[in-house]
Amino acid sequence: MDFVPDSDFAKLFWSSDDFHTYTRAYINTNENLHISMKYMPKRCGRALVVAASGDHPLFCSLYGAEHVDTFDVSYNAKCLMDIKVAALGCLDREQYSDLLEDLYSKNNICDVRYIQEISKRIPQQQYKYLCEMKYYPVFQRGITADIFGYDDFDGRALTVSEYEKLREIVKEPYNFILTNIDDLSAHLTGKYDFMHLSNIFDYVPKQNRFDVLEPLLNHVNVGGRILIQHMGKRRRNVWNVSPIPIKTIFSDVFWDWRFKRCKNRISVLQKVR
């Protein structure tokens, strides 16, 4: 990735709720990824997931994906993902928790516990950018998942044994593509066994959803799956969490694909031929 962050430009937009290059990244995922990752094929050579908080690629690795590519519209998502991967190499589980807590609560990146150890393991332009962004939070805490009525905080956190397993598996930073979902397919080469498109299509106008999804279909192996997770509609600060059938979102017919509506607002497309 040859993108060079511009902290002066980022400061102009850090508080915006719109999706852009410097959208703040959630410290933790809003989802129980133990649920969605169960739909990953048992043999997964390549997976593609949103970078988000960095938890999606970590859980992909935890559940057996051999190679994981990531994408996001936000550079801050890459920073957080790389920090988490670096932490695996030098921190234990308790220290990791302290690190995440400080990333949310401290105004200055230099005050974050263990950041000096982490800074040696991430690209220096990232660390410089984070230092220049002090007092302009680039990370934020995710929404507590039990708001959605199916989850609790402990269900989303990595256990000590899972964390130790990841320390043995994840040795290098994940490949990252800085792009929005509309242009994602143009950056892809080869095919994947699993795509996890989490809480993305909620923000794509219904009339555009098929146009966004169609180019991605050519990048899935036979037997591979695309998982689409929906956040639902927010009404008066209350989330409507009813599962959204895939056919109500994508009205076009896919002759080579099998639809499967699962629990917890998850829909799965599996390529059958």
Residue 186: inside a domain = yes
Cα Rg of the chain (Å, integer): 18
Does position 214 have pLDDT exceeding 70, yes or no?
Answer: yes
State pLDDT tens for residues 16-28: 878 899 999 989 8
Does position 264 have pLDDT exceeding 90, yes or no?
Answer: no
Does position 57 have pLDDT exceeding 70, yes or no?
Answer: yes
Does position 241 have pLDDT exceeding 80, yes or no?
Answer: no
Does position 213 have pLDDT exceeding 60, yes or no?
Answer: yes
14: pLDDT confidence band, cut at 50, 70 and 90? confident
pLDDT at residue 228, rounded to an integer? 85
Q: How many structural domains are present in the chain?
A: 1
Residue 107: inside a domain = yes
Over residues 35-57, the mean pLDDT reads: 94
State pLDDT tens for residues 100-120: 989 988 888 999 999 999 999
Residue 65: inside a domain = yes
Give the structural domain span for 160. 8-271
Arithmetic mean of pLDDT over the chain: 83
Global confidence as pTM: 0.87
Does position 209 have pLDDT exceeding 50, yes or no?
Answer: yes
193: pLDDT confidence band, cut at 50, 70 and 90? very high
Over residues 110-136, the mean pLDDT reads: 94
142: pLDDT confidence band, cut at 50, 70 and 90? low
Q: How many Å apart are CA 145 and CA 151, to the nearest integer?
A: 6
Residue 1: inside a domain = no
The answer to whether 234 and 226 have CB atoms below 8 angstroms apart is no
Over residues 56-60, the mean pLDDT reads: 96
The answer to whether 100 and 47 have CB atoms below 8 angstroms apart is no
149 vs 27, which has greater pLDDT? 27
Does position 177 have pLDDT exceeding 90, yes or no?
Answer: yes
pLDDT at residue 88, rounded to an integer? 97
Does position 226 have pLDDT exceeding 60, yes or no?
Answer: yes
184 vs 107, which has greater pLDDT? 184
* Domain of residue 224, CATH code: 3.40.50.150
Which residues on adjacent β-strands are paired with residue 233? 240
Phi-psi domain of 114 (left: phi exceeds 0; alpha: psi -120 through 50; beta: other): left
Residue 2: inside a domain = no
| 193: CB partners within 8 A, 6+ apart | 41, 43, 44, 45, 46, 47, 65, 220, 221, 223, 224, 225
Does position 231 have pLDDT exceeding 80, yes or no?
Answer: no
Q: What is the DSSP string of the chain?
A: ------HHHHHTTTT--S--TTPPEESS-SS-HHHHGGGS-SS-SEEEEE-TTSHHHHHHHHTT-SEEEEEES-HHHHHHHHHHHHHHHH--HHHHHHHHHHHHH-SSGGGSTTHHHHHTTS-HHHHHHHHHTTTS--EEPPPPGGGGTS--HHHHSPPHHHHHHHHHH--SPPEEEE--GGGGGGG--S-EEEEEEES-GGGS-GGGHHHHHHHHHTTEEEEEEEEEE---EEETTEEE-----HHHH--S--TTEEEEE-STTEEEEEE--
Residue 232: inside a domain = yes
